[in-house]
Structure 1
Amino acid sequence: MTLDAAHDHVSIHHPARIVVDTVDGRSRARVLEQGTFISPRPMASRGPGVKIALAGVRASLCAGDDFVLRVEVGPGARVDLVDPNGTLAYNARGGTASWRAEVTLGEGAVLHWREQPFVLSDGADVHREVRADLAAGAELLWHETLVLGRTHEHGGALRSMTHVTHDGHELLVEDLDLRDPATRELPGILGHARVVSQVALFGRTPPGEPAPARLDLAGPGALYRSVTHHAYEADRILDPVWKSWSEAVS
């Protein structure tokens, strides 16, 4: 692929976009715009909130891919994002790919988003970024699982950045650099583990006793993180946390 062709390959990618507002006290999806890689689709739901599935429409991530998801939840609206697919980053063969999620929550908005595993094959090289801007009273409950390698693989290069603001103030700024296998396998980083998973609640401090795996933030919010060899081990640790914290969200 020539440089011009590679540039054209990236330029044709379009973001997926979700906009949810409240109408007569109930949440309504005003915009469900399909992107290059996923199509937001409404699901049946009970109560005043809406449930939206992120249905895959194209394989990703390959070299040159630029995945973008934009979610806007208006004041007082409630959204449950369902991710049935997860993400598999393929061998980039010397190229790179990017994955970005941009979330904006209005005053009193609530978003639950449980991502399926984000898996990096051998040879993948991905820049991943999640940015969330929460107004006063907004709450974001988020589950993330990063997996380095498929079965019998060590996994490619990953740099994962998270930037969360709440009521105009920074709540979490994290740069997780897992690009160098030798560095990430050092004691005190990942060692021989290959799964990094967390449940995060932003906008409210969840109930529960202090624990080595729990980090209460300086502002309203907390992280509960696990580092394991297999994704199912992380689920066993974090599923009770997700259940407890989701019940705590107003």
Structure 2
Amino acid sequence: MRATARIRATRAGDTTVLPLLAGDGPFDLRRARPHGHQARVCVVGAMSAPLGGDRLRIEATAEPGAHLHITTAAATIALRGPTTAHATYDVHLNVAEHASLHWLPQPLISAARSNLRQSCTIDLAPTARLLLREQIVLGRADEPPGRLTTRLTVNRDGRPLLDQQTSYGPGAPGWDGPAIAAGHRAIGQILIIDPVLDRHPPHARLLGDDPATGQAVLTPLAGPAILITALAPDTLHLDHLMEAAYTLQ
């Protein structure tokens, strides 16, 4: 299956409107109640996806001065499907001058024997703001994970700000060792990009006293940006760690 969802937010006076909201395949796009100047969209899964061989894509643009918030109605579960070929799930976000975009999907679950390559590519104008949250769960209850490769690429004002790629599951070297998952099943990160951080840069911090119950680290990036990365045995501990780190930034 090949499917693409397209979202475009435009400023109209003191509010943000959605002149483009189009989805097909598993993407059912719903307008949610606005919050202040911010337009909100919820992506509802209309069918099981991604399955092996699927090619899925979401494109979202916040035009100058627009404010857009996107979430998903439920977790995304990567499944094997009728073929062993890998699936792709690509997200492309564009945020223009004085615009903001919140990308806050529910967790991605890598089910046993699945094979997914997920990417998120973001292009930001110099005055744009971004809040991104991603969570990964490696396997459902009492099962191993599938093969998962994720890549996050962020460009600000045409220059690279962040480019990271990680692989998990069968065939991925060292994925369960101390350099990556460290035996944990839940992995998350929050990326905050805001020009105000140039004037008030944060300090690096480590949260969590017991590695067995999870830890999080807040890391300033080379730019007006903060990256929070967390590992935990389950999503409950992960949520607590990420929330604690976010409130400290």
TM category (shorter chain) comes to 0.7 to 0.9
1:81 CA drift (Å): 1.1
Bigger mean CA offset, 26-35 vs 198-207:
198-207
Residue 201 of structure 2 contacts residue 224 of structure 2 at CA under 8 Å; is this kept in 1? Answer: no
Query: Residue deviations 1:165-221, cap 9 Å, x none?
Result: 111111101011224356212233222112110111123437754303011111110
1:1-250 pair list within 5 angstroms: 10=1, 13-92=2-81, 94-179=84-169, 180=171, 183-204=174-195, 205=197, 209-212=203-206, 213-242=217-246
Question: Which letter does structure 2 place at the counterpart of 1:103?
Answer: L
Whole-Å Cα distance in 2 between the matches of residues 90 and 69 of structure 1? 19
Bigger mean CA offset, 77-86 vs 234-243:
234-243
Question: Which letter does structure 1 place at the counterpart of 2:69?
Answer: D
2:17 counterpart SS class: strand
Whole-Å Cα distance in 2 between the matches of residues 170 and 229 of structure 1? 32
Could you state the TM-score of these two structures normalised by the residue count of structure 1? 0.88
Looking at secondary structure, tell me which structure has more strand per residue: 2
1:131 CA drift (Å): 0.2
Long gaps (5+) in structure 2: 207-216
Whole-Å Cα distance in 1 between the matches of residues 30 and 245 of structure 2? 27
Bigger mean CA offset, 78-87 vs 131-140:
78-87
Inter-CA distance 39–117: structure 2 relative to 1 (3 Å threshold): same
Q: How much identity, in percent, do the aligned residues show? A: 22
Residue 168 of structure 2 contacts residue 176 of structure 2 at CA under 8 Å; is this kept in 1? Answer: no
Q: CA RMSD in A?
A: 1.8
Whole-Å Cα distance in 1 between the matches of residues 166 and 173 of structure 2? 15
Whole-Å Cα distance in 2 between the matches of residues 82 and 175 of structure 1? 22
Bigger mean CA offset, 91-100 vs 27-36:
91-100
Q: How many residues align?
A: 234
Residue 17 of structure 1 contacts residue 35 of structure 1 at CA under 8 Å; is this kept in 2? Answer: no
Query: Residue deviations 1:60-80, cap 9 Å, x none?
Result: 111111110000110110011
Residue 53 of structure 2 contacts residue 84 of structure 2 at CA under 8 Å; is this kept in 1? Answer: no
1:46 CA drift (Å): 3.1
Question: Which letter does structure 1 place at the counterpart of 2:135?
Answer: T
1:82 CA drift (Å): 2.3
1:243 CA drift (Å): 5.2
1:152 CA drift (Å): 0.8
Question: Which letter does structure 2 place at the counterpart of 1:134?
Answer: L
1:84 CA drift (Å): 1.4
Question: Which letter does structure 1 place at the counterpart of 2:130?
Answer: L
2:174 counterpart SS class: helix
